[in-house]
A and B are shown apart, each in its own frame.
Chain A
Amino acid sequence: MEAIANAPETLEIPTIPTYINGSHALMQTLVAEGVDTIFGYPGGAIMPVYDALYDFQERVNHILVRHEQGAGHAAQGYARMQRRAGVCLVTSGPGATNLVTPIADAQIDSTPLVCIVGQVAKKLLGTDAFQEADIMGVTMPITKWNYQITSADEVPEIIAKAFYIAQSGRPGPVLIDITKSAQLELMTKPYVYKKCESIVSYRPRMVAKQEQVIAAAELINAAKRPYILAGHGVQIAKAEDELRILAEKTGIPVATTLLGQSTIPTNHPLYVGWLGMHGNYGPNVMTDQADVIIAIGMRFDDRVTGDASRYIKQAKVIHIEIDPSEIDKIIRADAPVVGNAKDVLQALIPLVHPNDHTIWRNEFRKYDIIENETITVPELTSTAGKIRMAEVIDMLSTKTKGEAVLVTDVGQHQMMASRYYQFRRPNSLVTSGGMGTMGFALPAAFGVQVGAPDRQVVAIIGDGCFQMTLQELGTIVQNKQPVKAIILNNNFLGMVRQWQQLFHERRYSFVELQNPDFITIARGFGMDGQTCHERDDLSNALDTMLAHDGPFLLEVIVEKEENVFPMVPSGASVSQIRLK
């Protein structure tokens, strides 16, 4: 009784420690993961994160895009240059669905992305709340992994896991859906960041089994007509040097896929050209002559194989690939080697015998002569008619000494850029390969420039593609990035028109565009630009663009009905490649 009587008059309130909220936990984890750049667009369901971002402006450069698709492609460009995950931050509903195209693009081209999207509060999930979209369901088939965070406590672990999954093994996009309630609520424990280093159910194999490497080496050593096909995986693994060393030691000719271009300089004596529907003549048809194909970090896309049932039937196939599901998916491998290209090539190089396949390599040259005479030289030396796309790329290549990063959109200009640019440095072509996303180039070029500030970045864009994402001119100008963009304007959706001409009896169905004045549009955004109509003005126009301090748009009016050759018609075998 006495004790009660002596009790203090005011109740003692124990101090409850307060912890940070989900949004601050998210920002701290991003910083811990080394994120210094975010491409994003705010909105209702992500506002608490943007509020936390306000406190992190010194450490994280947030770039406000004009459309979420632009954020996605910019993050892809950034990721390709930095060879680590690009980060997007957008709101729920339409913000999230606008990211779908870049996510699908990143998935098929193995580009690491961490996409953080807002979601309605946990208690509103499934109620058709304002700006609620089931983005988990939408992105499940097109992400490497996705996860919905519904409590602040989950944030550090899940974000660390997201980066680990996006960047390890075969890279890819990861989407994290975070409810507004999780962004706002306080954690119930102290914030602790721990880097994710393994996941029990996910173990990408980096170093291949030695017996697989030995089997591959034996095939290479016994080969009479071996042929290396190098894909994007070589660049992702930073295995450019290993590829070159392997080729130089063995004398094996190297072709690349579309995304594998610039892995090896185009003037390297062992480089024979690139593969695919509009790739070079020799590299395509010579696949039918090889006795051993060494496919490295590539997936035998149908644009490479043509009719896969008639592709490299005569050859033994060594398939070096990090993703086991790619082995035997399209082309059966006689010697599969599952592992990271760099690790595999390092293990393989000591096992292969020095060789010199000059006679075999020279067989490629006779096709080069034909391609040169029928396509390349005429395209580069025409004097009549409008400017040809080839001339623009060729001149750009000379003026930039082959050292620029080309960012190309999708269509004829993309193929022409690949045909005529003479790459001298690795990791110099950023394009939408698997998905073929029109509108990719402008925002991606912006991201490339942010990710590689020391490099000259030139976007090659068609007049159709440009109009899909041209609002990102605003992002480029606001962020003062010196991106140079060239529109090759033929007033057509050129590649579709080419197919209609060749395979649909010239029934040009909805491919002609009434275009706006692109330079006026650029000026409206505060960007300089000029149009080039005449062949004689092209050199000066390119000089003006390249010398310009800051971003610049060069529109080149090109031949209206030009076709890209060589061409492997859809569904044909590569040996049925057409030169005209």
Chain B
Amino acid sequence: MMNEMTYTICIFTENTIGLLNRITIIFTRRRINIESLTVSETERKGVSRFTVVIRHESREEVEKLVRQIRKIVEVMAVFGYLNDEIVYNEIALFKISTPLGSKSLDVETINKEHKAWVVYWGLDYVVIEKTGNDTEIFAFFDYIKQYEILEFVRSGRVAVGKTEKGLVEYLPEGEWTYYQ
């Protein structure tokens, strides 16, 4: 699509069975494809945070989507963001073949230029971890593909808003304990 924008939707929910399904069927019904999805418990115990990345050409439709998600009984709050409103990252792992006699890795370039780290040495392969936004990860991908990439995996996006307050400040009042 011409004017597609990337939206990051942060959803705070109670941590209960079936929530993922409740949330994703709202996307499915409106034929919105989920680009990435990450779920984890927040600093508040029992509160999960979903980070969903979608691409859409209409801000209005995304706002409607956000309101539909907010309707789920277990959902406490939903926030939709454009990229410039958040700090966000992903993590990628590259499994690179290093058989005997192959071209040796330029670890200095990997470390200094790409801020990527070798996190595991196998007998004839290494695993490199690269954290960054998708542009940075794919820049590294382009660099490292001169070696044989055995496996490449990228996590979903995690993001925090650029507002001063933490998002949990916006959650409804209640008895909260901090996540241990």
Contacts and interface: CB of A to CB of B under 8 A. Distances in A.
Contacts of A199: 73
Nearest to B25: A141
B29 A141 contact: yes
A325 B70 contact: yes
Nearest to B69: A325
A201 B172 contact: yes
B25 A200 contact: no
A325 B14 CA distance: 20
A449 B49 CA distance: 47
B64 interface: yes
B18 interface: yes
8 contacts: A140-B21, A200-B76, A201-B76, A324-B70, A325-B71, A327-B67, A328-B60, A329-B64
A575 to B, nearest CB: 25
Contact of B71 (A200, A323, A328): A323
A20 interface: no
Interface residues of A, number: 19
Nearest to B173: A200
A165 B71 CA distance: 12
B25 A201 contact: no
A325 B61 CA distance: 12
B74 interface: yes
Nearest to B75: A201
A360 interface: no
Interface in B64-103: 64, 67-68, 70-71, 73-76
B13 A137 contact: no
A374 B120 CA distance: 84
Contacts of B14: 201
Contacts of A200: 76, 172-174
- Interface of chain A, main secondary structure: mixed
Nearest to A327: B67
Nearest to A326: B67
Interface string A323-367: 111011100000000000000000000000000000000000000
Contacts of B13: 201
B162 interface: no
A356 to B, nearest CB: 38
B22 interface: yes
Contacts of A201: 13-14, 73-76, 172
- Interface of chain B, main secondary structure: mixed
A180 interface: no
A322 to B, nearest CB: 12
Give the residue among A165, A200, A201, A327 with the most B Cβ atoms within 10 A. Answer: A201
A144 interface: yes
B69 to A, nearest CB: 9
A101 B128 CA distance: 53
Given A201-B13, A329-B67, 13 more contacts: A137-B21, A141-B29, A145-B73, A165-B73, A199-B73, A200-B172, A200-B173, A200-B174, A201-B75, A323-B71, A324-B67, A325-B68, A327-B67
Q: Considering the complex of A and B, which 4 residue pairs feature the smallest CB-CB distances, nearest first?
A: A325-B67, A201-B76, A200-B174, A145-B73
Interface in B151-180: 172-174
A113 to B, nearest CB: 15
Contacts of B21: 137, 140
Given A140-B21, A201-B13, A325 B64 contact: yes
Give the residue among A165, A199, A323 with the most B Cβ atoms within 10 A. Answer: A199
A202 interface: yes
A199 to B, nearest CB: 7
A203 interface: yes
Contacts of A165: 73
Contacts of A327: 67
Nearest to A164: B73
Contacts of A140: 18, 21-22, 25
B172 A144 contact: no
A15 B60 CA distance: 64
Contact of A202 (B25, B64, B68, B73): B73
Contacts of B75: 201
Contacts of B63: 328
A538 interface: no
Contact of A136 (B18, B71, B74): B18
Nearest to B22: A140
A136 B20 CA distance: 13
A137 B28 CA distance: 14
B44 to A, nearest CB: 11
A20 B63 CA distance: 48
Interface string A293-330: 00000000000000000000000000000011101110
Interface in B1-58: 13-14, 17-18, 21-22, 25, 29
A203 B70 contact: no
Contacts of A323: 71
Interface in B81-137: none
A203 B172 contact: yes
Nearest to A174: B73
Contacts of A148: 17
A449 B63 CA distance: 42
